[in-house]
Chains A and B, each alone.
Chain A
Amino acid sequence: MNARSACRGRLALLAAAVGLAGCTQHGASPPPAATARVLPAAPAAVAFTPPPRRAIPDDAFGAVVRQGEALFTRTGQAAPQFVGNALTCQNCHLDAGRLADSAPLWAAWVGYPVYRSKTGHVNTFAERLQGCFRFSMNGKAPPLGDPVLVALESYSYWMATGAPTHVTLAGAGYPILPQPEQTPDRVRGKAVYTAKCSICHGAEGRGREAWGRLAFPPLWGPDSFNWGAGMGNVNLAAGFIKANMPLGNGWSLSDQEAWDVALYVDSQERPQDPRYTGDVAETRARFHDTPMSMYGRVVDGHVLGSVAPQAGARPRPPSADRPAAAAFVRRRGRAAPATPQPRTTKEQP
Chain B
Amino acid sequence: MRTVRRRALGAAFVFVTGPALQAQGVDAVQIVMHGNGRGAHACAACHGNHAEGNRLAGIPHLAGLPDAYLTRQLTHFRAEARDNPSMQVIAHTLTPAEIVALARYFAALAPPPPASVTAPPPALGIALAVQGRGAVPACAACHGPGGVGLGDEFPPLAGQSALYIRRQLEAWQQGRRPPGPLGLMGAIARRLTAAEIAAVAAYYEQQPAIPVAAASSKDVP
Tell me if B25 counts as interface (CB < 8 A to partner A). Answer: no
Contact A98 B134 (CB under 8 A): yes
Q: Count how many chain A residues have C-beta atoms less than 8 Å from C-beta atoms of the other chain.
A: 49
Tell me if A314 counts as interface (CB < 8 A to partner B). Answer: no
A 216-249 to B, binary, CB cutoff 8 A, 1 in contact else 0: 0010010100000000000000000000001111
Contact B220 A343 (CB under 8 A): no
Tell me if B127 counts as interface (CB < 8 A to partner A). Answer: yes
Tell me if B174 counts as interface (CB < 8 A to partner A). Answer: no
Tell me if A26 counts as interface (CB < 8 A to partner B). Answer: no
Contact A343 B142 (CB under 8 A): no
Residues of B within 8 A of A199 (CB): 153, 181-182
Which stretch from A151-159, A200-208, A273-281 is at the chain B interface? A200-208
Residues of B within 8 A of A208 (CB): 151, 217-220
Contact (A210, B182) CB under 8 Å given A337-B130, A347-B126 = no
A203 CA / B215 CA spacing, docked (Å)? 19
A202 CA / B216 CA spacing, docked (Å)? 14
Majority secondary structure, A binding face: loop
Q: Which of B121, B145, B187 contacts A340 (CB 8 A)?
A: B145
> Closest residue of chain B to A212, judged by CB?
B214
Contact A249 B144 (CB under 8 A): no
Q: Which of B187, B210, B215 contacts A248 (CB 8 A)?
A: B187
Contact B130 A203 (CB under 8 A): no
> Closest residue of chain B to A73, judged by CB?
B131
Contact A348 B214 (CB under 8 A): no
B 196-221 to A, binary, CB cutoff 8 A, 1 in contact else 0: 00000000000110100011111111
Tell me if B148 counts as interface (CB < 8 A to partner A). Answer: yes
Contact A247 B146 (CB under 8 A): no
Residues of A within 8 A of B187 (CB): 248-249, 252
Residues of A within 8 A of B132 (CB): 95, 343
Tell me if B141 counts as interface (CB < 8 A to partner A). Answer: yes
Residues of A within 8 A of B138 (CB): 342-343
Tell me if B184 counts as interface (CB < 8 A to partner A). Answer: yes
Tell me if B194 counts as interface (CB < 8 A to partner A). Answer: no
Query: For chain B, which range describes its interface: under 10, 10 to 19, 20 to 34, or 35 or more residues?
Result: 35 or more
Which stretch from A11-19, A161-169, A296-304, A328-336 is at the chain B interface? A328-336
Contact A249 B219 (CB under 8 A): no
Tell me if A150 counts as interface (CB < 8 A to partner B). Answer: no
Contact A96 B131 (CB under 8 A): yes
Residues of B within 8 A of A214 (CB): 220
Contact B131 A325 (CB under 8 A): no
Q: Which of A98, A325, A340 contacts B215 (CB 8 A)?
A: A325
Tell me if B175 counts as interface (CB < 8 A to partner A). Answer: no
Contact B220 A209 (CB under 8 A): yes
Contact B131 A53 (CB under 8 A): yes
A91-120 contacts to B, CB under 8 A, are 94-96, 98-100
Tell me if B135 counts as interface (CB < 8 A to partner A). Answer: yes
Tell me if A196 counts as interface (CB < 8 A to partner B). Answer: yes
B 174-186 to A, binary, CB cutoff 8 A, 1 in contact else 0: 0000000111100
A340 CA / B130 CA spacing, docked (Å)? 10
Q: Which of A223, A249, A338 has most B Cβ within 10 Å?
A: A338
> Closest residue of chain B to A197, judged by CB?
B182
> Closest residue of chain B to A213, judged by CB?
B145
Tell me if B57 counts as interface (CB < 8 A to partner A). Answer: no
Tell me if B9 counts as interface (CB < 8 A to partner A). Answer: no
Q: Which of A98, A325, A336 contacts B146 (CB 8 A)?
A: A336
A63 CA / B148 CA spacing, docked (Å)? 31
Contact B126 A348 (CB under 8 A): yes
Contact A249 B183 (CB under 8 A): yes
Q: Which of A211, A247, A345, A347 contacts B214 (CB 8 A)?
A: A211
Tell me if B81 counts as interface (CB < 8 A to partner A). Answer: no
Q: Which of B151, B210, B221 contacts A328 (CB 8 A)?
A: B210
A208 CA / B142 CA spacing, docked (Å)? 11
A94 CA / B138 CA spacing, docked (Å)? 10
B20-48 contacts to A, CB under 8 A, are none
> Closest residue of chain A to B179, judged by CB?
A249
Contact A338 B129 (CB under 8 A): yes
**Closest-CB distance, B97 to chain A (whole angstroms):** 27
> Closest residue of chain B to A243, judged by CB?
B135
Residues of B within 8 A of A246 (CB): 182, 184
7 shortest interchain CB distances as A-B pairs = A342-B140, A202-B219, A210-B217, A206-B220, A338-B145, A325-B214, A338-B146
Sample of 18 A–B contacts (CB below 8 Å)? A99-B134, A199-B153, A202-B220, A207-B219, A208-B219, A209-B219, A209-B220, A211-B214, A247-B137, A248-B137, A328-B214, A329-B145, A332-B145, A336-B145, A336-B207, A336-B208, A337-B126, A347-B123
Given A210-B218, A249-B182, output 16 extra A-B contacts at Cβ < 8 Å: A94-B137, A95-B133, A95-B135, A204-B221, A206-B220, A208-B219, A214-B220, A223-B220, A249-B188, A322-B214, A337-B121, A338-B129, A342-B130, A342-B140, A343-B140, A347-B123
